[in-house]
Amino acid sequence: MAQGDWAANMAFWRFINNPRVTTDKLIEGWSQQTAATASGRHVLSIQDTSEIKFHTREGHRRGLGKVGKGNARGVLLHAMIAVNADSGVCLGLTGGEVWTRKRKKIAHEKRALADKESERWVTTAAQGCEVLAAARMITVINDREGEFFAHWALTPGDNVHLLTRAMHDHALADGGTLYEAVERARFCDEAVIDLPQRVDRRARQARLSMRMGTVTIKRPQRPGVKDLPKGVEVSFVEVVERRPPKGAEPIHWLLLTTHPIATTADAWRVVSWYKQRWIIEQLFRSLKSQGLRIEDSLLDSAEGLIKLVAIATRVACVVIQLVQARNGGEELPAEFVFTPDEIEALRAINKTLKGRTELQKNHHRPNTMAWAAWIIAKLGGWTGYASHRPPGPITFHMGMARFQLLVYGAQTV
């Protein structure tokens, strides 16, 4: 650690332990710049939940609740990230929640939606739609856990659509079930799509067969949904990889959406939007196994760990935006990502990083994301030489960690 960073480190821990710094305020800050980036765009609002496990021992659980299987302890992070539907550019976070689980005495099926963890899918979608009010259109994208009737009934609006992977074989208003309706539909088209690399899968291409249709999901017969409409009309798109490569897990997605689907082009467009869901998996991976390694934190209290996760989530999102800025494409102003105080800090740091030669200067247009990416990469140890590899996520994580320390240190002077 550089000598000047010690005081900044101490300032950061004082910041974490300051009772006036609440998790709610930190999460509110996630979307401080996102609203401006959404104006006039079709935005994919992608949400998901991740379990973040911390090391505990008998008699020292750090105030953490159970997560996952066994006796693991930690916090849960639910986040929503905004992506430009046309370009794939990450526009920032729109909201979410960080919490530690407490035991419920009432059985899950007997609780109202407001008393269930699943409520987060609906409330975060509403929060995101408020942040993205200036967007031309919003498509809320969930994975299978967020697929339930109340979400279908409460989330869609005039310019708000829902897209999710099916989890339940819903009863339909005209009799029968969703799966039966899908089986009756004929495969009508094929296409080859690119699959991004994941922890459990190499990047590859997949030839998918597709079928589509429209159904009306019937309101289920259980407590807590009586005030909702009797049915919700949705389109379905099923894509199946019928001849996967040897040893590869075949792709099989049954997607449901409130977007109208009249042609095969409409259906493939929905598939392309759902593919963008990988970006939130990248966000969670950056928090844990890459770069930030948040699960290694030694903070002693659940409250401190929850605040740390809230701070780190924003940093992980910014890292995604910095990597995209490094790669070129759509140019975003730095003010779409960084606060005015942070931009002022970037300007000051940029002056100290300029080398003596032209190759060692920041040639990007000032106050753009590419300009900011150069500065953060240099803080993370990147040499800046064109002959060296471009900065990657880990370098940007290291740069953002040091940048945040410097910013928090400056705020306490």
For residues 259 and 332, membership in a common domain is answered with: no
Range of the domain at 336: 311-411
> Which DSSP letter does residue 171 get?
B
Per-residue pLDDT tens over the stretch 35-76: 989 999 999 999 999 998 887 666 556 668 787 666 778 889
Structure tokens at 55: 């090391």
Q: Which residues, listed in sequence order, are joined to residue 165 by a DSSP beta bridge?
A: 255
For residues 170 and 255, membership in a common domain is answered with: yes
Give the global pTM: 0.89
For residues 316 and 220, membership in a common domain is answered with: no
For residues 167 and 258, membership in a common domain is answered with: yes
Of 108, 43, 101, whose CA–CA distance to 77 is shortest? 101
Report the C-alpha dihedral over residues 313, 318, 323, 329, rounded to 10 degrees: 130
* Position 143 in a domain: no
φ, ψ of residue 338 to 5 degrees: the values are -105, 150
- DSSP-assigned letters across all residues of 193-211: EEE--BTTB--EEEEEEEE
* Position 407 in a domain: yes
For residues 235 and 324, membership in a common domain is answered with: no
Which helix (H) or strand (E) covers residue 236, if one does? strand 231-240
- Strand 231-240 relative to strand 252-257, pairing: antiparallel
Spatial contact of 255 and 166, defined as CB atoms under 8 Å apart: yes
Which one of 253, 269, 285 terminates a domain? 269
CATH code, domain with 238? 3.90.350.10
End-to-end CA distance of the chain: 20
For residues 239 and 321, membership in a common domain is answered with: no
Structure tokens at 144: 């299978």
* Position 249 in a domain: yes
CATH code, domain with 325? 1.10.740.10
Structure tokens at 194: 């690119």
The pLDDT value given to residue 20? 84
Which one of 269, 301, 324 terminates a domain? 269
Per-residue pLDDT tens over the stretch 149-168: 999 999 999 999 999 999 99
Which one of 269, 285, 303 terminates a domain? 269
**Number of domains making up the chain:** 2
* Position 261 in a domain: yes
* Position 70 in a domain: no
* Position 114 in a domain: no
Per-residue pLDDT tens over the stretch 286-324: 888 666 677 777 676 788 888 889 998 999 999 999 999
Spell out, as residue ranges, where the chain has pLDDT lower than 70.
1-13, 56-63, 68-70, 102-115, 199, 223-224, 289-292, 298, 300, 355, 359, 408-413
For residues 331 and 404, membership in a common domain is answered with: yes
* Position 265 in a domain: yes
* Position 357 in a domain: yes
